[in-house]
């Protein structure tokens, strides 16, 4: 018999709603799994046992009274720890916020609670979401469930590892340049970055405001769609929230025959791990076998995406992180003068990668360099978006790898930031253009590590992305494979 923590989110909710199992039993199973694997995995920074059990009991009481507790009733869900939660510490993986306890919920957290989800904990991340491996967290190390010597990807590595290890049924991450999709690919789960503005960012600790987007990580496509439906939609508290309600997602089992899929030439680069290219091209053949029409397309400005991203993102980070000065909230290191207190607080509170990005962003925004660097990057960003527009004039969606390699070894790229940044070479452009994209497993390499397939859609066309992914998933069994142990 399948353990409660190993069930899909949909099956869990169905059983809870039929009262075949209680939400409390589901929650206790998730908490027991967390207690068993966390010493070795390190996916969570905070486990919310009393709050989770109280929420589960509320779901059970609602069902007993004949009330509808919501579409996620009793499901165990985790949040990346840069998403504010009322009364539960929210650290952003940083010493700067190690003891910060918000007084309010982020919109996505409130919507999950309203949908009946049970929040079991907050997951580890690269500090302030800056990283591709979850090695930049100031508060702990997260390991890949498939191989503890490998990274889980980043910055939402804790969320992806928790889902892959069956510690929760789903989790939320944030994606600024691939931070949901890269961990999903490395951990063999499904990760969805919605269209920019589809999901509210209110209450999410900002890294780069024009790029950040919240999205679900789950063990299959339908579960990811269910979570997206719970959190998506306009929010008057977020000025960047789009006034477009999410279309119904009940047609995921529809055919893909006749769907036009583009295969970008620029996403098959020299030096790509052979197993990755083999698996992605095999996945494309599966989609062709299902009736999709695949044709090559070109995204000619892809080669400039990494440079463009790290100018735009670091400039916005420099502005957003200026608030952490020791005066208003967070860490404060006492000093003889205000200036010395600023300096001492930031030196103690920010890690090396965050400091590096703040310094770069401050430089590109400074007088004499703004036009040469930041303004030029914004112009190239427009060209990247136009590349996608041209491709989508011919295609309904694009199919690409998620990364040039599978999960790399811990410590392997820490001394070489540029090589680390190139981990996101196939995901960054999607954020610059504000598009929806989903990653799902499509194979394993010679070491048995998961390989991810990325599907990119037109703005606000998550239904086509999800339908394409569901069709591939239904024709293969990669999504059903679990890490050892």
Active site residues: 80, 155, 179
Question: Edge-to-edge strand order for the sheet containing 170-175?
Answer: 44-47, 118-123, 76-80, 170-175, 213-218, 190-193, 437-444, 450-457, 397-401, 260-264, 293-297
CA-to-CA distance for 106 and 145, rounded, in angstroms? 28
The secondary structure element, H or E, covering residue 181 is helix 181-187
Cis status, amide bond into 92, omega within 30 of 0: no
Give the residue among 227, 212, 154, 221 at the shortest CA–CA distance from 186.
154
CA dihedral sign, ordered 26, 27, 28, 29: positive
Rounded to an integer, what distance in angstroms lies between the CA atom of residue 233 and that of residue 231?
7
Outline where DSSP puts E strands in 51-183.
76-80, 118-123, 170-175
User: By the 8 A CB rule, do 417 and 176 touch?
Assistant: no
Residue 431: count of CB within 10 angstroms of its CB = 29
């Amino acid at each position: 018999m399948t353990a409660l923590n190993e069930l899909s989110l949909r099956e869990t909710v169905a059983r809870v709603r039929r009262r075949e199992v209680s939400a409390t039993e589901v929650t206790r199973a998730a908490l027991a799994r967390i207690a068993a694997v966390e010493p070795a995995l390190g996916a969570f920074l905070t486990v919310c046992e009393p709050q989770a059990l109280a929420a589960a009991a509320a779901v059970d009481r609602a069902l007993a009274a004949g009330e509808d507790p919501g579409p996620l009733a009793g499901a165990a869900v985790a949040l990346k720890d840069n998403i504010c939660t009322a009364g539960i510490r929210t650290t952003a993986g940083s010493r700067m916020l190690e003891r910060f306890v918000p007084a309010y919920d982020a919109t996505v957290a409130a919507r999950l609670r309203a949908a009946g989800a049970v929040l079991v904990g907050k997951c580890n991340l690269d500090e302030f979401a800056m990283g591709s491996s979850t090695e930049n967290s100031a508060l702990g190390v997260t390991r890949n469930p498939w191989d503890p010597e490998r990274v889980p990807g980043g910055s939402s590595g804790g969320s992806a590892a928790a889902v892959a290890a069956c510690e929760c049924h789903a989790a939320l991450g944030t994606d600024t340049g691939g931070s949901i999709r890269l961990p999903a690919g490395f951990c063999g789960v499904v990760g969805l970055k919605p269209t920019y503005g589809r999901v509210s960012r209110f209450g999410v600790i900002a890294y780069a405001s024009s790029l950040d987007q919240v999205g679900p990580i789950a063990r299959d496509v339908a579960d990811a769609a269910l979570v997206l439906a719970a959190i998506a939609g306009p929010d008057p508290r977020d000025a960047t929230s789009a006034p477009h309600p999410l279309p119904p997602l009940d047609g995921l089992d529809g055919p893909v025959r006749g769907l036009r899929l583009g295969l970008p030439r620029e996403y098959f680069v020299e030096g790509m791990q052979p197993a990755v290219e083999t698996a992605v091209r095999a996945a494309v053949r599966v989609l062709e076998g299902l009736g999709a029409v695949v044709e090559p397309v070109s995204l000619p400005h892809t080669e400039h995406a990494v440079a463009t991203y790290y100018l735009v993102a670091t400039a916005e980070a420099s502005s957003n992180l200026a608030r952490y000065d020791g005066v208003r909230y967070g860490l404060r290191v006492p000093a003889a003068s205000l200036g010395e207190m600023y300096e001492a607080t930031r030196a103690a509170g920010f890690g090396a990668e965050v400091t590096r990005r703040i310094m770069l962003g401050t430089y590109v925004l400074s007088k004499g360099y703004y036009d040469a660097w930041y303004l030029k990057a914004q112009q190239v960003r427009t060209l990247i978006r136009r590349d996608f527009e041209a491709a989508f004039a011919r295609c309904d969606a694009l199919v690409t790898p998620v990364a040039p390699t599978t999960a790399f070894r811990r410590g392997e790229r820490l001394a070489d930031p540029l090589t680390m940044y190139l981990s996101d070479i196939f995901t960054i452009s999607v954020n610059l253009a504000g598009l929806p994209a989903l990653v799902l497993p499509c194979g394993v390499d010679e070491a048995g590590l998961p390989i991810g397939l990325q599907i990119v859609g037109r703005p606000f066309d998550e239904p086509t992305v999800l339908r394409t992914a569901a069709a591939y998933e239904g024709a293969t069994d990669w999504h059903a494979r679990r890490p050892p142990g």
